[in-house]
Chains A and B, each alone.
Chain A
Amino acid sequence: METRYLPYILILPVTLFLCLFFLYPFVLVAQQAFWTDSGWSMQNFRDVTGHWKFPISLKNTLYLAAIVVPVQLVLALLMATMVRNMKKGRDLVLYVWTIPLGISDLAAGIIWLAIFEQSGFLNSMLSGLGVVDKPINLLTYQNPGIVFIAIALAEIWRATAIMLVILVAGIGLIPKEYYEAAEVFGASPWKRFTRITLPLLRPSLSTALVIRVILAFEVFAVVQAIGGTLFPVLMSETFNYQFELLNSGAAAAVALIILAISIAFTVLILRLLRVPKGATI
């Protein structure tokens, strides 16, 4: 067999798998989104974007991502830097920090619901300390801020470790000599972080951010568990169209809108964090 065909033959199985289970369903979804009784049209998109809940759910999704992702980025960087400088117990700390990764997002949402609901841990603690007379219902439409904070906290708790593991691996790749050289040439610890760690971490940062931003636009189970209908997001709209309103065309249209936003942000992140040719480690 000619060796130049070998690579293509080797990737054939996975290509077939991807076509069958990803590309084909994707085409079906796209077809559903653009197909109405009267033939090909943008009607589904006009319907879903014209609905009064669409701007709210879009705004909620973007706000949540805008708060959660930067906080997670900072936390993950801080944690990765701390772990890097640890001599003993590094693995143990990493295992503990990544425990939330092993919990499903719905379970994570329920854990945080158990903290914030009327008979939850937070209320028990507050009344036990005498801060409040009787348990108060925090997660209501009168307290949109608290609902938002509860969801954001749950998301931060649940998914920071995804970024952490990528950044820990990335930081581990930066040779120690660069830090020593920077130290000898007068860079303070902060300067070493901003002038050495951050720029050399660009490939890992972009991977971590892309994954995390995509997940942020797909946020659903945590929001559903804590906020329910109080806090509509794009993904919950997809769910409602599909299973409550039984309108799969509209559901497919929202799903494609989420995809478009994800692709736009991915391209933006990859551009911003691009490493010039010849400037890699």
Chain B
Amino acid sequence: MAEIEIRNVAKRFGDYQALHDINLTVADQEFMVLLGASGCGKTTLLRIIAGLETATEGEVWIGGKRVDHLAPKDRGIAMVFQNYAVFPHLTVFENIGFGLRMQKLPNDEVKQRVERTATLMHIEQLLKRYSGELSGGQRQRVAVARALAMEPDVILMDEPLSNLDALLRMEMRAELKGVLAESKTTAIYVTHDQVEAMSMADRISVMHQGKIVQAASPIEVYRNPSAVFVAGFIGNPPMNFLSATPAGDGKWQVAGNVIDGPHAKGPLQFAIRPEDMSPSESGLTATAKVVEPLGAHLLVTCEVDGKIFRAVLDSDLTVKTGDVLTLAPQADRVRWFNPETTLAVA
């Protein structure tokens, strides 16, 4: 059982405020992803949980125990580093067994646990090699095996797949998710890659400028972004925005159309995902600027109301540059944001 609780954590580096009043609870055995652009504070937060960095304010609790004053080794955590940090002077066996040796476990047990995790990560044939003789993907596996061999309550991962090529990354993503689910460990995973976050997480915490903007399940973050930042950051191509002016009684004027919306004071921002539109007889008038046939679908970058607007359409459609389309937004997928607070309006 290892629930993680971050209470009012803040971090300052001199004058620079890296984290503002972070509150986050990660449930036992949950896979939590910290997602954000570089410099948003996600790695700092992970390092504070690991104990490699000290919070300026706030508390860190793991498994019902306050740990922010404890050394990393006393927190029941293991970590996978971005550059793997596989010790070059030790064999794969000794790398995986490093933490166990530090705990002074008997040789038999070290051997048994190293071999078991090595088999789990499919590197049992590499145990005698040095890290200089391994590929990036193999080193990655060693780093994960080293963390798993500790049988930790919590496993912390700092962009573990970012140095792998695209194909390997996809393969490892699925494998890592399976292995971690099997190990019943609580996991915190830092990444800037939204696809990684969406595909692996039980819950995503989207971070921006040292704050957690939204913490929710991947589909919730995707469908109901709580702020403009989340809407623009998650999803590729990103969500489309158009300005909306009130037309009275919950109706909004968007690019010459009247659309049902919330009962709120205007102006608002109308938002729709590129795949939530289809050509129709009535709707937004869009002039196609760039047409990219991607095989599975057709990505059309158009201009609506003088703004860039992207639509993901059925690949059977024939659209040429300069065509004028009429796109109807799917009513239940339309979202509204307050342009001043940048927050979602229900």
Contact = CB atoms under 8 A, between A and B. Distances in A.
Interface of A: 175, 177-178, 180-187, 191, 196, 199-200, 202, 275-281
B229 interface: no
Nearest to A200: B89
Contacts of A184: 50-52, 72-73, 77-79
Contact of A186 (B50, B88, B102): B102
B61 interface: no
6 shortest A-B CB distances, which residue pairs? A278-B132, A185-B99, A186-B102, A181-B85, A186-B73, A278-B130
Interface in B98-153: 98-99, 102-103, 129-133, 146, 150
B87 interface: yes
A13 B20 CA distance: 63
A280 B130 CA distance: 9
Contact of B85 (A178, A199, A280): A178
B85 A177 contact: yes
B167 to A, nearest CB: 25
Interface in B58-103: 71-73, 77-79, 81-83, 85, 87-90, 98-99, 102-103
Contact of A185 (B78, B83, B133): B78
Given A184-B52, A185-B146, A200-B89, A278 B81 contact: no
Contact of A278 (B51, B102, B131, B150): B131
B102 A279 contact: no
Contact of A275 (B78, B82, B89, B98): B89
Interface of B: 50-52, 71-73, 77-79, 81-83, 85, 87-90, 98-99, 102-103, 129-133, 146, 150
A279 B132 contact: yes
A186 B98 CA distance: 9
A278 B133 contact: yes
Contact of B87 (A178, A183, A277): A178
A191 B83 contact: no
Given A200-B89, A278-B131, A279-B132, A183 B83 contact: no
B43 to A, nearest CB: 12
Given A183-B52, A187-B98, 10 more contacts: A180-B79, A183-B73, A184-B52, A184-B72, A186-B99, A187-B73, A199-B89, A275-B89, A277-B130, A278-B133
A279 B78 CA distance: 24
Contacts of B146: 185
B87 A181 contact: yes
Given A186-B99, A186-B102, A186-B103, A181 B89 contact: no
Contact of A181 (B79, B103, B130): B79
A280 to B, nearest CB: 6
Contacts of B51: 184
A183 B129 contact: no
Given A175-B83, A278-B130, A185 B73 contact: yes
